[in-house]
């Protein structure tokens, strides 16, 4: 028993010594010095083509301009809202900016850190010799960029040029005008019963919204079609919609797996309950319910605009690819040939 007590006391002493040693070292570790950035012949926005990583400004590199690249920029024009990249060039006194970039990283924190990433703008410096360096922001103990002093120094410079490179139209003014979604990416729920039938809205005036995507530009394994873009719409009256639903009712559940993306899609969208509003191009379609019939004041909309219906009321049909019908319950069915033919004629 005495020997056991001596062993236990020895183990306890080792554990206490280990804890004290850990406490003496603290929860921080020395930061790793940032390596110098390698000058390249061209800057990249959002990334350099040669894969060069950001680092400290090399000794002897004299910046003549700073470039801030925002890879998540947006811009509005007559077509709507575009996502893309914005590259802004700055000139002026670079002393404060170089001082802010030269700040060392904070000691590395060995405890828990927030599980977040940084998606802010990228900073480049260029000299008079046509060389560019991607610079790294000083980091805090969790490895997150400390941008406050850097951005303050950039704001003190003068903007001499700005270029926006559009990527994708994320909010189409034409789609909004026609009461259509700007883009289509239907959610598909798998595993519905084999005897399921499509859940379709009641027949009524609807907007037939058309979308097209571009084919892959290469045969690479990761190549894919582009996101479908809005190309136009056609107004359908209740009789035309009823004819579509008659043939759509024969659709049967689609196979669970399909890797053939569609390049042409149709989304059928019923208008919201708007007094006196009709889908564009539908001609003489009966107006919506009056205030008395609806029991409340119906929402209004600008002339010619069909408000989007509540989520879950639209129906999507792929005219090629997997050729599926996605009902308002987000279930996938194989679109009957007769339905595809009717849609092709209705949208022409």
pLDDT of residue 339: 95
pLDDT of residue 189: 78
pLDDT of residue 236: 93
Q: How far apart are CA 52 and CA 281, in angstroms?
A: 53
Q: Which helix (H) or strand (E) segment is 95 a member of? A: helix 95-101
**DSSP 8-state code for residue 108:** E
Cα 322 to chain centroid distance, Å, stands at 24
User: Alpha-carbon Rg of the chain, whole angstroms?
Assistant: 30
Q: How far apart are CA 238 and CA 285, in angstroms?
A: 8
pLDDT of residue 120: 78
> C-alpha dihedral over 278, 280, 281, 284, to 10 degrees?
10
Q: Is the separation of the CB atoms in 284 and 310 below 8 Å? A: no
pLDDT of residue 292: 30
pLDDT of residue 190: 73
Q: Is the separation of the CB atoms in 301 and 277 below 8 Å? A: yes
pLDDT of residue 277: 39
| One pLDDT digit (tens) per residue for the chain, 348 residues | 444 343 333 433 333 333 333 333 456 566 677 889 999 998 888 765 444 568 899 999 999 999 999 999 999 999 999 999 999 999 999 999 999 999 998 888 888 888 877 777 899 999 999 999 999 999 888 888 889 999 999 999 999 999 999 988 889 999 999 989 888 877 787 777 777 889 999 889 999 999 998 876 656 555 455 688 899 999 999 999 999 999 999 999 998 778 888 899 999 998 863 323 333 433 333 333 333 333 333 333 333 334 444 446 899 999 999 999 999 888 999 999 999 999 988 776
pLDDT of residue 272: 63
């Amino acid at each position: 028993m005495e020997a056991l007590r001596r062993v236990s006391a020895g183990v306890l002493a080792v554990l206490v010594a280990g804890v004290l040693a850990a406490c003496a070292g603290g929860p921080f570790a020395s930061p790793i010095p940032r390596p110098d950035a390698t000058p390249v012949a061209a800057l990249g926005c959002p990334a350099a083509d040669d894969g060069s990583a950001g680092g400290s400004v090399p000794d002897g590199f004299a910046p003549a301009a700073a470039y801030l690249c925002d890879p998540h920029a947006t811009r509005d024009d007559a077509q709507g809202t575009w996502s893309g990249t914005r590259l802004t060039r700055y000139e002026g006194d670079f002393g404060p900016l170089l001082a802010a970039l030269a700040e060392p990283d904070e000691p590395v924190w060995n405890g828990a850190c927030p599980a977040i990433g940084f998606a802010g703008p990228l900073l480049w410096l260029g000299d008079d010799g046509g060389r560019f360096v991607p610079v790294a922001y000083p980091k805090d103990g969790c490895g997150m960029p400390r941008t406050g002093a850097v951005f303050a120094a950039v704001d003190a410079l003068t903007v001499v040029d700005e270029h926006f490179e559009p990527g994708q139209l994320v909010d189409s003014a034409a789609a909004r005008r026609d009461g259509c979604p700007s883009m289509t990416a239907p959610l598909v729920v798998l595993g519905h019963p084999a005897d399921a039938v499509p859940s379709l809205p009641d027949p009524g005036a609807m907007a037939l919204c058309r979308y097209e995507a571009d084919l892959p530009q290469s045969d690479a394994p990761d190549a894919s079609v582009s996101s479908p873009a809005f190309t136009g719409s056609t107004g359908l009256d209740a009789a035309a919609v009823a004819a579509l639903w008659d043939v759509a009712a024969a659709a049967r559940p689609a196979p669970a797996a399909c890797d053939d993306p569609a390049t042409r899609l149709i989304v059928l969208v019923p208008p919201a309950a708007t007094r006196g509003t009709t889908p564009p191009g539908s001609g003489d379609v009966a107006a919506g319910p009056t205030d008395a019939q609806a029991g409340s004041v119906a929402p209004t909309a600008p002339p010619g605009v069909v408000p989007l219906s509540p989520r879950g009321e639209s129906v999507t049909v792929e005219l090629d690819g997997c050729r599926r019908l996605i009902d308002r319950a987000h279930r996938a069915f194989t679109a009957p040939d007769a339905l595809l033919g009717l849609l092709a004629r209705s949208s022409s």
